[in-house]
Amino acid sequence: MTTTLLDSTNGIVEFTYIGEGPPVLLLKGGHCSRDTDLSHSSLVYEGFSLLTISRPGYDYTEPSTGRTPDEFADTIVEVLDYLSLDRVHVIAVSAAGPSGIALASKYPERVDRLVLEAALTGSWDRKSRKKAMMLFGPAEKMVTGSLKFMLKLFPDLVMKQLLADMTTEDVEDYLDNLSANDRRFIYDMLSTSQPGRGFILDLDHDVKNLHELNVPVLGMYSQKDRSVPYTNALLLKSTVPDCEIYEVNADSHLIWIGKDAHDVWNKRLEFLKQS
């Protein structure tokens, strides 16, 4: 896949654009690199084109392109203008929630529909923020390198430790009940993760314009998500008039795997294909 670096007004921004058909902008979640695929790449086989923009601090996108979600929305619009894309559907995943919300609220004329997938709609809680600052601050490269090294040697141990922050279920039971394909999904997700400077920037993001959303919104959330609690879905539903909440029958933050994964895929397609 060809990666493009655009010298925007506020710095270098990295993106890829593939496929033909109605454009979908994908904003990946925290820790996700250009190589992380949570199944969204298959949208190109469903008749969509897929624009993936790396958020500030991730891959080659410079932090200066948007230290706040509102600032990054301006950079995204520069990319859309560069590609001559008048309007796009938007999918914002997990920590990218504030960026997707900022874009749709600040530039509603550029967004057809917004899908929030296990996405933040408010601020980080203090405990999670403090823990993440310790792990992914100055020691980020060492921590990430060590985790990837250990993942190769002791995959179940590393997955269990990291999944404990993603599920309200007993983590050993959760891991034991995963299919081989689901285990591979998690392994690939972790092995391609690269928070860089991006995740630390994410921790300061806040959502100030949720009430300004006036584009159709689909929120997909799990009741058993520990990292992005279901309260984010309730806040979204109570604040945004044109909003549908789809409660995913998933046992963790990872709504893209498990027994309901196919329904998640179909629900997303159904929403994106509405006129």
Q: Does 140 have pLDDT greater than 90?
A: no
224 contacts 260 by C-beta, under 8 angstroms: no
Query: Confidence band (pLDDT; 50, 70, 90) for 13?
Result: very high
Query: Confidence band (pLDDT; 50, 70, 90) for 2?
Result: confident
Query: Confidence band (pLDDT; 50, 70, 90) for 136?
Result: low
Query: Confidence band (pLDDT; 50, 70, 90) for 208?
Result: confident
Question: With left for phi above 0 and alpha for psi between -120 and 50, is residue 7 left, alpha or beta?
Answer: beta
> pLDDT tens-digit profile of 212-266?
999 999 999 999 999 999 999 999 999 999 999 999 999 999 999 998 999 999 9
Q: Does 168 have pLDDT greater than 80?
A: yes
Q: Does 183 have pLDDT greater than 70?
A: yes
Domains and CATH numbers, the chain: 4-125+197-272 (3.40.50.1820)
Instruction: Show the tokens assigned to 130.
Output: 């403090």
Percent of the chain with pLDDT over 90: 83
d(CA 92, CA 187): 22
Query: Confidence band (pLDDT; 50, 70, 90) for 139?
Result: low
Between the alpha carbon of residue 134 and those of residues 96, 123, 140, 149, 162, the distances in Å are: 21, 18, 9, 20, 15
Q: Does 210 have pLDDT greater than 90?
A: yes
Query: Confidence band (pLDDT; 50, 70, 90) for 127?
Result: confident
Mean pLDDT, rounded, for 111-119: 98
82 contacts 18 by C-beta, under 8 angstroms: no
Lowest mean pLDDT of 142-146, 173-177, 262-266, name the range.
Answer: 142-146
Q: What pLDDT is attached to residue 143?
A: 75
Q: Does 133 have pLDDT greater than 80?
A: no
Q: What pLDDT is attached to residue 125?
A: 75
Q: What is the mean pLDDT of the chain?
A: 93
Q: What pLDDT is attached to residue 204?
A: 87
> pLDDT tens-digit profile of 36-76?
999 999 999 999 999 999 999 999 999 999 999 999 999 99
Mean pLDDT, rounded, for 127-136: 68
Query: Confidence band (pLDDT; 50, 70, 90) for 134?
Result: low
Grouping H, G, I as helix, E, B as strand and the rest as coil, residue 117 is strand
> pLDDT tens-digit profile of 78-100?
999 999 999 999 999 999 999 99
State how far Cα 9 lies from the chain centre: 24
For 88, residues 6+ apart whose C-beta sits below 8 A from its C-beta are: 23, 24, 25, 51, 80, 110, 111, 112
The b/e string for 216-229 (b: 16+ C-beta within 10 A; e otherwise) is bbbbbbbebbbbbb
CB neighbours (10 Å) of residue 71?
A: 15
